[in-house]
Amino acid sequence: MTLDGKTRQQVWTGTWTADTHMALDLGSSSILWTTKGSGLQSLSLLKNRTYTLNKTWSDGIIAAHEPYLATVHSGALLLWDRRTPEPFAVSKEPYVRKMIILAENQQVSDPELEEAAADGPPPALPVALPLLCTPSSVRCRNGEGCVSQEYLCDGKPDCQDGSDEGACSRFCNRPGVFQCLNRNQCIEEKYHCDGAQQCSDGSDELGCWKPTEDCSLRCDNKTRCIPKRWLCDGNADCSDERDEQGCVHAECSAPEFRCQNGQCISNSLRCDGNQDCVDHSDGTAVLGPGHCGARWGR
């Protein structure tokens, strides 16, 4: 609702628990709250959508203004950048319980002026100052609002004049950004082929490779496909040895034989004429006839 208590609008329904901490973020036009076990949540008033900003967030929140958050913990006032999990400013303030952030360019009606306007000609209005936006926001072309950069060229107009969805071809032509085929929307590259559709036309999930048994890893500039059974088998199949990186081999027990690829098999299967190790390291070709001859009592 507006500051005079009018124009009320319901934007979200849910159950608030006793430990819920909530703050209004004027910088991003959103409401932030946190409860035990739910992390840090955000409701965009522009899009009427809820986002999870940090799943592991456990501090109470008393004030917010994008990109900053203020919390109180053990007699200290902490200032956070919500994009990082660590506070960058700490001040000992044992008596602080509440905080209010005063934003610029918030206009409040004056009752005396309203009465004067009803009795006679309206008074001259003061010259409006240009709207100032936060460093993480962009001013709409008509100067009547600010939009967070994360909402630019997302396929949904947030400015009244739609200017946040204009000139997207130039805005999207940057490193680390994927432009949708509709040319009117772009997303961060990390969301390209992540299994969840972000582009309204679904182009961010078109032609995306998905691992299979016969092609579990692509390497050598996506020119070579490595089957799952070749991963961590002790033999490098990729030129950069990616198929042998990050392998965790379990320790074999005393009555077991350890294959060269880290696999464990029973000692009774070693040199039995069958290749029980995936890398065939339990056979004569690898261990040698003398070794297996001793196993067979020759």
Amino acid identity of 87?
Answer: P
Residue 106 pLDDT level (bands cut at 50, 70, 90): very low
Residue 297: predicted pLDDT: 41
Residue 293 pLDDT level (bands cut at 50, 70, 90): low
Residue 69: predicted pLDDT: 77
pLDDT in tens, 33-53: 887 777 778 887 777 777 777
Residue 182: predicted pLDDT: 80
* Beta strands at 49-54 and 63-65: parallel, antiparallel or unpaired: unpaired
Mean pLDDT (whole number) for 231-260? 83
Mean pLDDT (whole number) for 20-28? 78
* 228 shares its domain with 289: no
Asked if the structure places residue 106 within a domain, the reply is no
pLDDT at 103 over 70: no
Mean pLDDT (whole number) for 19-28? 77
Q: For residue 149, which of 172, 182, 183 has the smallest C-alpha distance?
A: 172
* 84 shares its domain with 26: yes
**What is the percent of the chain with per-residue pLDDT over 90, rounded to a whole number?**
0
Residue 238 pLDDT level (bands cut at 50, 70, 90): very high
Q: Which domain holds residue 171?
A: 148-205
Asked if the structure places residue 139 within a domain, the reply is no
> Which pair of tokens denotes residue 100?
């209010």
- Contact yes or no for 39/26 (Cβ under 8 A): no
pLDDT at 227 over 60: yes
CATH number, domain of 225, equals 4.10.400.10
- What's the rounded Cα separation, in Å, for the pair 270 and 265? 8
pLDDT at 287 over 70: no
Tell me the whole-structure pTM to 2 decimals: 0.33
SS3 per residue for the chain: CCCCCCCCCCCCCCCCCCCCEEEEECCCCEEEEEECCCEEEEEECCCCEEEEEECCCCCCCCEEECCEEEEEECCEEEEEECCCCCEEEEEECCCCCCCCCCCCCCCCCCHHHHHHHHHCCCCCCCCCCCCCCCCCEEECCCCCCEEEHHHCCECCCCCCCCHHHCCHHHHHCCCCEEECCCCCEEEEHHHCCCCCCCCCCCHHHCCCCCCCCCCCEEECCCCEEECHHHCCCCCCCCCCCHHHCCCCCCCCCCCEEECCCCCEEEHHHCCCCCCCCCCCCCCHHHHCHHHHHHHCCC
Q: Based on C-alpha coordinates, what's the Rg of the chain?
A: 31
Residue 298 pLDDT level (bands cut at 50, 70, 90): very low
- What's the rounded Cα separation, in Å, for the pair 17 and 123? 48
Asked if the structure places residue 130 within a domain, the reply is no
Asked if the structure places residue 141 within a domain, the reply is no
- Contact yes or no for 152/176 (Cβ under 8 A): no
What CA–CA distances, in Å, run from 192 to 92, 185, 187, 189? 44, 13, 8, 5
* 188 shares its domain with 234: no
Asked if the structure places residue 189 within a domain, the reply is yes
* 197 shares its domain with 232: no
More confident residue, 152 or 74: 152
Amino acid identity of 236?
Answer: A
How many domains are contained in the chain? 4
More confident residue, 124 or 237: 237
* 53 shares its domain with 34: yes
- What's the rounded Cα separation, in Å, for the pair 67 and 137? 10
Block residue for tokens 């008596």: 95
Asked if the structure places residue 134 within a domain, the reply is no
Residue 2: predicted pLDDT: 62
pLDDT in tens, 181-217: 887 788 888 888 887 888 888 888 888 888 888 888 8
* 86 shares its domain with 52: yes
pLDDT at 295 over 50: no
User: What is the pLDDT of the chain when averaged over all its residues?
Assistant: 75
Asked if the structure places residue 156 within a domain, the reply is yes
Mean pLDDT (whole number) for 135-153? 83
Residue 107: predicted pLDDT: 46
